[in-house]
């Protein structure tokens, strides 16, 4: 079983149990849980610092653009890119990032980095990243043109 942010993926052997029996069993288990709208989950609250436009960040982005990818659609301002993709102003994005309550839904393998989602689903952000190396030369050129406007 693999639990994801908003979904549950269940691996099962279709030769051992039919899909309809599995679904019936899952529906029965869900009914046994009862009303979970007022349930409590043991948790701890951490307040972590966050900075925007620090000199180190600015220098890192500048160095990245000079040595790696000057044409990426999310450059030179990651915050502007995320805000634009979500139909927000940059100040609205900063407000969401500083005021939202987040819940850690998993912990990654890289430096135990947590994957956090806002508790309020209306504050969830969409942040696509385009791999320019997978695009054709013409699409990369168009991305460069659009990112410099």
What's the CA gap between 72 and 131, in Å, rounded?
Answer: 8
Taking the alpha carbons of 76, 81, 83, 88 in that order, is the dihedral positive or negative? positive
Q: Do 127 and 74 touch, CB atoms closer than 8 A?
A: no
Residue percentage of the chain with pLDDT more than 70: 81
- Confidence grade of residue 28 (pLDDT, cut at 50, 70, 90): very high
What's the CA gap between 84 and 80, in Å, rounded?
Answer: 6
Paired strand residues for 103: 117
Look at 12-21, 56-65, 87-96, 140-149 and tell me which has the smallest mean pLDDT.
140-149
Q: Do 97 and 90 touch, CB atoms closer than 8 A?
A: no
Average pLDDT over the chain reads 81
Can you spell out the DSSP letters for 9-65?
E----TTTS-HHHHHHHHHHHHHHH---TT-------------SS-HHHHHHHHHHH
- What pLDDT score does 134 carry? 53
The first and second tokens of residue 9, run together, are 């993926």
Tell me: cis bond preceding 19? Omega within 30 of 0 counts.
no
- What pLDDT score does 73 carry? 80
- What pLDDT score does 148 carry? 47
What's the CA gap between 30 and 20, in Å, rounded?
Answer: 15
- What pLDDT score does 32 carry? 92
Residue with tokens 């529906």: 27
- Confidence grade of residue 72 (pLDDT, cut at 50, 70, 90): confident
Domain boundaries, the chain: 55-147
The answer to whether residue 23 scores a pLDDT higher than 90 is yes
- Confidence grade of residue 130 (pLDDT, cut at 50, 70, 90): low
- What pLDDT score does 22 carry? 95
Task: Report pTM.
Answer: 0.57
- What pLDDT score does 139 carry? 57
The answer to whether residue 42 scores a pLDDT higher than 90 is no
- What pLDDT score does 75 carry? 85
């Amino acid at each position: 079983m693999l639990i994801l942010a908003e979904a549950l993926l269940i691996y099962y052997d279709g030769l051992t149990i039919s899909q309809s029996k599995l679904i019936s069993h899952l529906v029965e288990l869900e009914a046994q849980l009862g009303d979970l709208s007022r349930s409590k989950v043991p948790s701890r609250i951490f307040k972590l610092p966050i900075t925007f436009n620090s000199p180190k960040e600015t220098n890192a982005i500048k160095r990245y653009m000079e040595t790696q990818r000057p044409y990426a659609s999310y450059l030179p301002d990651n915050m502007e890119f995320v805000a634009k993709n979500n139909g927000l102003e940059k100040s609205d994005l900063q407000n969401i990032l500083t005021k939202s309550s987040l819940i850690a839904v998993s912990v990654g393998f890289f430096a135990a980095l947590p994957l956090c989602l806002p508790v309020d689903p209306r504050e969830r952000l969409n942040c696509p990243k385009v791999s320019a190396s997978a695009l054709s030369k013409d699409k990369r050129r168009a991305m460069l043109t659009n990112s410099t406007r």
